[in-house]
Amino acid sequence: MKAITEELLRYELRNSEPDVYIVPDGAILTPAAKEYLQQKKIRYQMKSNFHDQVHPGQGGQKKTVSTGAPAPQEQRAPAAEKTDTVAVLRPKYTEHETGAFFYEKPEHMTQLYGNELVNKDDPRIVFRGKLDSVQSLIVLAQAVIYENGCQSLVDDLNDILRHLRELMRCDVLGEDVPEMTTIGLTHAELRERSHDPMKFYKIKQMLLPDYSMGINYAYLNRIRTQIRETELSACTAFREGRKYKRGDIIEELNRLSSALHIMMCKYLAGDYTGGGN
C-alpha cells in the first residue's frame, strides 16, 4: 500500500490549494500528511468514498456531505419554506496530475482538457501559447504582404495558418492530426524540395537572409524560425521519458517549417506573382 507523506503532499500541492484532496485508492496518508492538510484547511477523502457536497440555500445550515440516500422525513422542510432548500454543489474542476478537486478555478491554473486543470506554465500550455503566437505573426505578415500586392504569397500563408489552427484543435480535443497537403505538397514532397531547392527552384539551400531581400522575405524567415521554436516546445510538452506521445503534431510542425523554407526559395525564384518588396 502506497503511503502519501507530507513531503509528497507539499510537492503535489506546491502551486495549488484545493478544497478537497482525493486520496487514491490503495493509498494512505501518513499522520504528518494529515496534519499538513489540516493546517492548510484542506479536507481529504478516499477516491472511492467521495460524495457530493451540500450547501444550504439561505438557511445558514452547515455544509454537509450527501450520501445519496434521502434525508429523514423530519429533516425535510415543507416545499414552501425556501429557507431550508438545499442545492447540490459539485466540484467544477480536477487537477490533471493529482486528481484534487476545485470548486473554483485558481488564477494560476488553466484548463488542459475539459475540466482538468494544470498550472499556466505547464509545458503543454506553453506549447499552445507558441502555436497562438506564430498564428498571430502570420496574420501580421499577411497584412503587410497584401499591402505589397503579393496575393499568391498571402494565399500560401493562409494554408500554413489553416494547418496551425488544425494542430491546436487536435491537441485540445485529443484527436489525431489528419493527413493534409501543405501549399499543395505532401509530406514526402515537402521534404524532397526542402532538401534540394537547387533542383526544383534553382536556389541554393538556406541562403542567409539579408535586408536587401525585402520585407516579404524577412517575414517568411521570421515565421519559419518561430515554427521551429514551436516544434521544440512541442517536443518538451509531449515527451514522456525517451518517447513522445504526439509524434503526429511534432512531424507536422517539422514539415511546416520545410514549407516555409520552400516558400522562401520560391519567392527568390520569382514564383510568386506581384512579389514587390
The terminus-to-terminus CA distance of the chain in angstroms comes to 69
How sure is the predictor about 74, in pLDDT bands with cuts at 50, 70 and 90? Answer: very low
The residue ranking higher by pLDDT, 98 or 139, is 139
Residue 59 pLDDT > 50:
no
Residue 77 pLDDT > 70:
no
Residue 157 pLDDT > 80:
yes
The residue ranking higher by pLDDT, 53 or 241, is 241
Residues 6+ away with beta carbon under 8 Å from 276 = 148, 149, 150, 214, 216
Per-residue model confidence (pLDDT) at position 276: 52
CB atoms within 10 A of CB 236: 12
pTM: predicted TM-score of the whole model, two decimal places: 0.67
Per-residue model confidence (pLDDT) at position 64: 33
Least reliable range by pLDDT among 4-8, 158-162, 173-177: 4-8
Per-residue model confidence (pLDDT) at position 257: 96
Give the three cell numbers for residue 110: 488553466
Q: What is the sign of the dihedral through the CA atoms of 160, 163, 168 and 171? A: negative
The residue ranking higher by pLDDT, 158 or 35, is 158
Give the three cell numbers for residue 45: 477523502
Residue 275 pLDDT > 90:
no
- Spatial contact of 26 and 51, defined as CB atoms under 8 Å apart: no
Q: DSSP 3-state helix, strand, coil percentages of the chain (rounded to 5)? A: 50, 15, 35
Per-residue model confidence (pLDDT) at position 163: 97
